[in-house]
Amino acid sequence: MKVGVLTGGGDCPGLNAVIRAIVRKAERHYQDSVIGFTDGWSGVLSGNFIPLDVNFMRGSLPRGGTVLGTSRMSPRMFEDGLDKVRATIEATKTDALIVIGGEGTLSAAASVQAAGAACVVAVPKTIDNDIALTEQTFGFDTAVSIATAAIDRLHTTAESHDRVMVVEVMGRHVGHIAIWAGIAGGATLTLIPEHPFDIEAVAATIMRRHRRGRWASIVVVAEGAIPVDGTLEMAEQAVDEFGHKKLGGIGQVIASEIEARTGFDTRVTVLGHVQRGGTPTAFDRVLCSRYGIAAIDAVHQKQWGSMVALQGGKMVTVPLADAVAEVKPVSPDLYEAARAFFA
Ligand code: F6P
């Protein structure tokens, strides 16, 4: 078979590990040829691709980023987007397209599959861990490890200066990175979009803690955290060229409010794209390798319109359309576990 691969959306540690696994099994086991479309859907729309083989992928397992490049371009942005996809797939004689991406990229993949423009198998990528029907997306473990290591470092400087440290982490409209890093890093409070915060209650918690003689506090804030309606004025969020809301900035707002309400010296750290860069953890390397193998196996089983997923520790396939129907929030029991450590 001739198999096409693309990586779309924000980059994420482990993308190369997935591509490497696909190429390895495709070439060595199935005798397929593999091409990689460059810069996400953009490569499919414009017909730009590079040949991929085991030799090309050598040394890529621990490398962050993606050898294919990525973008947030989508066929859904153009009236004739699906026709262009169909034309490239026909012109390149691509039998199957493995789409590695997050919510936006995979929603486009579901449309491509529904329109019959390509035979699609999807792989769930994102540090945000917000794709439904899989227990974990790849890249998430690495992002949590980076955020946790940062929180560990902030503890010692917070304690030395008796400061409140606000740490803003990524995650878009869900709080998976925040809640995991908050528990792992021993946060005083973790604010996530699933549970709008009341800034008065946040300040009161920190005041209570200080009265108990705990002078340093760490507040982890998900970039998508929102205040309880009517409690805090928030600035409008800008959108990027792809209509993607640019999140971030909530950490600074919360830090200023805490300082104003408590009088405690407060600093903010925005971890930003550091969470997405560099080498994947061992866990992510294994998960990526399993996802890549499962994806090429699904291609040979002609499981079109499916997404590979981790369920109960096993690799399974699920309907892609169901996986992208809604984002996966933080589970109530995990939030309750985090709450047990608040203050
Ligand atoms: O979806 C991954 C992610 O890193 C989000 O956590 C974050 O909101 C967004 O991408 C940042 O996007 P960009 O790289 O376009 O600034």
How many helices (H) and strands (E) are present in the chain, helices listed first? Answer: 12, 11
Q: DSSP character for 279?
A: P
Tokens of 284: 């992510």
pLDDT value at residue 15? 98
**Tokens read off for 150:** 């940062």
DSSP E strands in 107-254: the ranges are 120-124, 164-169, 189-191, 217-222
Taken as a whole, the chain contains a residue count of 343
Ligand 1 center–CA 10 separation, angstroms? 6
Structure tokens at 338: 């985090």
CB-based pocket (< 6 A), ligand 1: 10, 102, 126-128, 170-172, 223, 240, 247, 276
C-beta separation of 236 from 217 below 8 A: no
Residue 36, Cα to own-chain centre: how many angstroms?
21
Q: What is the pLDDT of residue 23?
A: 98
Distance CA 191, CA 129 (A): 17
At residue 38, what is the residue type? T
Which of 133, 123, 78 is CA-nearest to residue 97?
123
Residue located nearest, by CA, to atom 12 of ligand 1: 10
CA atoms of 326 and 152, how far apart (whole Å)? 33
Ligand 1 center to residue 262 CA distance, Å?
Answer: 32
Looking at residue 301, its pLDDT comes to 98
Query: What's the distance, CA 330 to chain centroid?
Result: 14
pLDDT of residue 240: 86
The pair of three-digit structure tokens given for residue 155, joined into one six-digit string: 């503890």
128 assigned to active site = yes
Beta bridge partners of 239: 245
Q: To test ligand 1's pocket by mutation, which of 170, 237, 245 has the most ligand atoms within 8 angstroms of CB? A: 170
Task: Give me the pLDDT at residue 234, please.
Answer: 83
Kind plus residue range of the DSSP H or E element containing 164 = strand 164-169
Going residue by residue through the chain, which has 343 residues, state the pLDDT in tens, using 9 for 90 and above: 999 999 999 999 999 999 999 999 999 999 999 999 999 999 999 999 999 999 999 999 999 999 999 999 999 999 999 999 999 999 999 999 999 999 999 999 999 999 999 999 999 999 999 999 999 999 999 999 999 999 999 999 999 999 999 999 999 999 999 999 999 999 999 999 999 999 999 999 999 999 999 999 999 999 999 999 989 988 888 888 888 888 889 999 999 999 999 999 999 999 999 999 999 999 999 999 999 999 999 999 999 999 999 999 999 999 999 999 999 999 999 999 999 999 8
Q: How far apart are CA 182 and CA 222, in angstroms?
A: 10
pLDDT of residue 246: 85
- Measured in Å, residue 283 CA sits from the centre of ligand 1 at 22
287: CA distance to ligand 1 center in Å? 21
Per-residue pLDDT, 68: 98
- Residue 83: what pLDDT? 98
Which ligand 1 atom minimizes the distance to the CA of 9? 1
CA dihedral 71, 246, 238, 227 (to 10 degrees): 160
Nearest residue to 24 (alpha-carbon basis) of 314, 297, 304, 282: 297
CB 291 within 8 A of CB 126: no
| Active-site option among 128, 130, 141, 284 | 128
